[in-house]
Structure formats: C-alpha cells, structure tokens
Amino acid sequence: MDADREFPVRPKPAMVDGLLLLNKPAGMTSNQALQKVKRLLKAKKAGHTGSLDPAATGMLPLCFGEATKICAYLLEADKTYRVTARLGERTDTADADGVVTETAPIPEMTAEDWQAVIAAFKGEIMQVPPMYSALKKDGKRLYELARQGQVVERDARPVTIHSIELLESTSTRLVLTVSCSKGTYIRTLVEDIAEAAGTLAHTSKLHRETVGAFRSEDMLDMSGAEAAAIDGPGALRERLLPADVALASWPACEVDDSDVERFCGGQAVSCDATGDGLTKVYDSERTFLGIGQMRSDGAVLPKRIFHRRQAGE
C-alpha cells in the first residue's frame, strides 16, 4: 500500500437538528427510509412519525436530533391520503403486496351510488385494525402472528374520517382522497366501503399527501436526498426544517431573557400569554426553547426543553 496515498476523510455522525419531509418510495419500510436518510445526513439521532406500509408512498416526517422530541406530537396529527381501491378482490394483507384470498362479483354502480355508500363513513366510525399491522397482542406484533397464519380477536377502535371524496369510479376501481384522524387504517376503510357496497376490495395504491400542517410541496424524494448529499451531508442538512414548524397551529408565548435559563432548567416562569394548554415557548429573539404547559396565573411550565446548541457542537 502506498503510504503517501490520501484517502477521503468520512464525516463523523453529528448532532443534526431538524425535520425532513420525505416522499417515501414504494418497496421500502419507514425505518429503512429513515436509516438511509440518517446515513446521508451523517446524523447521530433520528426517528420518524407515522409509519407507512412498505407499498405506500408519500409524506414521512423524519426527525433528527432535538426534533425527535416532537415525534409524539406529530403522531397525534391528522393526515390526508390518496388511495386507489381494486374492487372484487380481497388479499391477506389488504393491499397489493398480499395474496388474493377471495373474489366477489362487483355490482354495477354509478358514481352517485358510490358517493352514497361513502357518505356513511364520514365522521366518527368504529374500525377493527387489520391483522397485518404493528399493533401488539399479548406482546407480539399482529403482523408477526399473521405471518404464522394466525388470526386473533381485535377490538374495534373509534377513528374519525374528516372528509372523503370520490375522484374516480370504474367497474373495477375507486380513487379516493381521505382526511382522517390518527390511528386510521386506510386499508380497512377500503375493505369496509366495499363490504357496504356488497363486494370485496383491497388497496392497490396509497399515497400520503399531508401530515398535520406540513405541505406536500415541501417533500423531498429519496433521489433528491441522495443527489443533495453527493458532495457531503451539508447540502442535505440545508433542506431540514426547524422543529417548531411541526407545531405551526399551536399557540406561542415568549419569556423574558432573564427567565430563559430558569425555563430551560425545568422551572415555571412568567410569559406573555395565559391559558391552560400546550404552547410553543420562545425567547425575545424568537429562538425556540421548547414546549410548555400554560397556567391560568400567566406562568408556563416546561414539558419538553430543546437544547440550544453552541457553535461547534
């Protein structure tokens, strides 16, 4: 080996903070997508919110560094999807990755007929989670049991369908947009709609368009992430959004600069607002300090503190 030969120095993982809205490609699990982007960013700490099925595409918020502290709040966010349903066929996974287990005739229905069926699913409904899901039963993931050929009892859970719109209907498929609460299984919704119409169906395509207040135009494809990282992680890090963008609809309050250290140290301090819910907390320079619990006496109690990194950290 040539002792004088120079080898490129690989950047070490760093404490990278921020959010990246990935347009997850099909054929990749949410965790696989996260780990790939984490490597591209050379980030130490990462997490994602709201898993997408491997076959699904669309918005997957990836959180890095301090932004992982808002993951739990993003899980509560409403979501919108564009879904294509294949009529007349049920699969074991309720999507196109599964094996067809049953077929049924498809009734002749107009778009108006389908709209009448779909209208019954608006509002709060009860939904039985699918066997191919990450929910646990007696300590085991349901999909693990399903792969073993087991079917276990699952309790129905309330979910809310805020809106559902029929975009297209043919003799063999439906295309819908759905806005829904957390915990909604679109695959199950498709099966239930088909059952109400007297047939079967599975989800052939699923694309998540929005999560909470995030905009679809801010998403980055995996190919775009790879291209941005060709010359190193710096260019890709510039695409990260600040953590508080995820809480755009939340109220905000400001604390005096003299109280910043006390707040960041876990103490309740006075602020310029009153209330009784969660709020974003900033200093006078609009630096995001964290999430606080408002009190009726005009104080805010720290719930999640965001570390203010110094140069070189």
Q: Which residues are catalytic?
A: 53
Residue 6 CB burial class (10 angstroms; 0-12, 13-18, ≥19): exposed
Neighbours of 312 (CB within 10 A): 4
- Cα(183)–Cα(58) distance, rounded to whole angstroms? 17
- Cα(296)–Cα(67) distance, rounded to whole angstroms? 28
Residue 145 CB burial class (10 angstroms; 0-12, 13-18, ≥19): middle
CB 298 within 8 A of CB 253: no
Q: What are phi and psi of 267, to 5 degrees?
A: -105, 145
Contacts of 145 (CB under 8 A, 6+ apart): 131, 137, 151, 152
